[in-house]
Amino acid sequence: MNLLSTRIITANVEALIDFYQNVTAMPLIQWTPDFAELRTANATLAIGSTRTLQFFGADNRIQAAQNKSVIIEFLVTDVDKEYERLKDFLESYLIQKPSLMPWGNKSLLFRDPDGNLVNLFTPVSEEAKKRFGIN
C-alpha cells in the first residue's frame, strides 16, 4: 500500500488554490472548477469542492472546513527561509513561528483559509535527518 493523496473538501476551491500556490510556490493543476491538484514527488494534495461529494454518495455526511485534528505537512529545505518568504502572507493564519520540536524537526505551523492545519518543517537533528534520508 502507498499513501498517494490527501484531499481537502472545500466550499471555496479558488481560495485554497491561491493559498497553496502562494505557500508552496508551485502551480496547482485545476482539472475542473470543482477539482485541483498539487503534485509533488511523493504525494498529491487534492482540492475538491463540496459538489464533488455527490460522486461518493456522501454529501450529507461530510462537511467542508470542519477539520480539527489533521495536519498537512510539507518537508522544506529551510523552514526559516520559508517563514521569511511567507510571514506577511501568513500573518492572519499563523499558529506558531518556526520552533524546534522534540523529535528533531523545526516546524512552522499555520492554518489555511478553511482552518486546516499546515506544517512546513525541516529536519535539523541528526536522527531526524536520518529518518528523511538527508545527509
The three-state secondary structure class of 40 is coil
| Residues 6, 56 within the same domain | yes
- What pLDDT, on the 0 to 100 scale, is given for residue 64? 81
Nearest Cα to Cα of residue 107 among 91, 90, 93, 124: 124
pLDDT tens digits for range 9-34? 999 999 999 999 999 999 999 999 99
| Residues 14, 59 within the same domain | yes
Query: Looking at residues 58-87, what average pLDDT do you find?
Result: 88
Where does a domain end: 21, 36, 66?
Answer: 66
| Residues 86, 122 within the same domain | yes
Task: Judge residue 124's burial from the number of C-beta atoms within 10 Å of its C-beta, 0-12 exposed, 13-18 middle, 19 or more buried.
Answer: middle
pLDDT band for position 69 (50/70/90)?
A: confident
At 106, which CATH number?
A: 3.10.180.10
C-alpha cell of residue 104: 528533531
In this predicted structure, the answer to whether residue 37 has a pLDDT above a threshold of 70 is yes
Percent of the chain predicted with pLDDT > 90: 84
In this predicted structure, the answer to whether residue 7 has a pLDDT above a threshold of 70 is yes
- Boundaries of domain holding 39: 1-66
| Residues 61, 75 within the same domain | no
- What pLDDT, on the 0 to 100 scale, is given for residue 86? 98
Handedness of CA 8, 57, 31, 10 (dihedral sign): negative
Total domains in the chain come to 2
CB 59 within 8 A of CB 50: yes
DSSP states of 57-108? T-TTT--TT--SS-EEEEE-S-HHHHHHHHHHHHTTTEEEEEEE-TTSEEEE
| Residues 56, 113 within the same domain | no
| Residues 24, 86 within the same domain | no
| Residues 58, 95 within the same domain | no
The three-state secondary structure class of 41 is coil
pLDDT band for position 135 (50/70/90)?
A: confident
